Amino acid sequence: KNEVEQSPQNLTAQEGEFITINCSYSVGISALHWLQQHPGGGIVSLFMLSSGKKKHGRLIATINIQEKHSSLHITASHPRDSAVYICAVARAGNQFYFGTGTSLTVIP
Amino acid sequence: GAGVSQSPSNKVTEKGKDVELRCDPISGHTALYWYRQSLGQGLEFLIYFQGNSAPDKSGLPSDRFSAERTGGSVSTLTIQRTQQEDSAVYLCASSLNTPGWSSYNEQFFGPGTRLTVL
């Protein structure tokens, strides 16, 4: 069993739709990271969370420490949001565990 | 300021040869991370440096893998006697990481080195 589980694995949405990607983890963490990987491989850090909620533009990330669960939301999705979204958790000592990613395709 | 850079961007080598991959972190970032991403698979944590020290080397896949960091800056990941299963994209990231309980900071990723072992 992976320490980090993401769902769904693949997601196709129409432009403008509200999108939710979920991440559940089974280990104690010091922080949770949402990453975005575009075709071509470049990785960008979207959010780092240790509690609560963060918002950046059309992106919102939430975390529930008690339930060991985080969600990434994209409002008013756009084709340029098409990418793989990866959840990563950091443990004490900076050990990292990664989800397998959610491949998002937004259709115009 | 420049971001994290890695070299080479692509490396093709023959099985059994040694390779060195280089990472230049963002200036002033004390923490440096190595990951790899095999084709069709997720990211895998390899090793983490705080300054020049690597507190945890347990992520390295085998004793053919080693990494060092000098001067708190550039890091080199060395793979000896490469095998075909070593083919992957090797990613480096750095972060500011200040000491203390909340020492984890946002990471900035390099573009990666694509390693192909024939």
Does A97 have pLDDT greater than 90? no
pLDDT number for residue B102: 43
Q: Give the range among A93-102, B79-88, B101-110 with minimum mean pLDDT.
A: B101-110
Q: Residue B36: which of B73, B99, B82 has the closest Cα?
A: B82
Of residues B9 and A27, more confidence is placed in B9
**Structure confidence at residue A31 (pLDDT):** 86
Tell me how far apart the alpha carbons of residues A82 and A7 are, in angstroms, rounded to a whole number. 16
Rounded average pLDDT over A37-43: 83
Instruction: Find out whether A44 and A36 touch, Cβ atoms under 8 Å.
Output: yes
What is the per-residue pLDDT for B103?
Answer: 42
As given in the structure block, the two tokens for residue B38 are 């095999």
Distance from CA of A29 to the nearest CA of B (A): 11
**Interchain CB distance below 8 Å, A95 and B89:** no
pLDDT tens track for A44-75: 889 888 889 999 999 999 999 999 999 999 99
What is the model's pLDDT at position B52? 87
Instruction: Give the pair of three-digit tokens for residue A61.
Output: 């990330």
Q: Phi and psi dihedrals of B112, rounded to 5?
A: 95, 160
Mean pLDDT over each residue of chain A, to the nearest integer: 91
Nearest Cα residue to A30 out of B22, B29, B105, B18: B105
Contact at CB, A97 and B105, closer than 8 angstroms:
no
Has residue A82 got a pLDDT over 60? yes
pLDDT for the residue B5:
96
Specify the pLDDT at position B55.
Answer: 76
Instruction: Name the E strands within B51-112.
Output: 53-56, 65-69, 75-79, 88-95, 108-109
Chain B interface residues facing chain A, Cβ-Cβ under 8 Å? Answer: 31, 33, 35, 37, 41-45, 48, 50, 55-56, 58-59, 89, 91, 93, 102-109, 111-112
**Distance set, CA A96 to CA A30, A60, B2, B34 (Å):** 10, 22, 25, 11
pLDDT score at A93: 62
**A13, A23, A15: which is closest to A101 by C-alpha?**
A23
Residue B101 pLDDT > 80, yes or no? no
Over residues A86-95, the mean pLDDT reads: 80
pLDDT at B1: 54
pLDDT, position A94 = 66
pLDDT band at B107 (very low <50, low <70, confident <90, very high): confident
CB contact under 8 A, A88 and B109: no
Phi, psi (deg, nearest 5) at residue B59 = -80, -15
pLDDT at B99 over 70: no
What is the pLDDT averaged over residues B90-100? 77
Q: What is the nearest CA distance from A16 to chain B, expressed in angstroms?
A: 28
Q: What is the pLDDT of residues B31-73, one digit of tens each?
A: 899 999 988 778 898 998 888 888 778 789 999 999 999 888 9
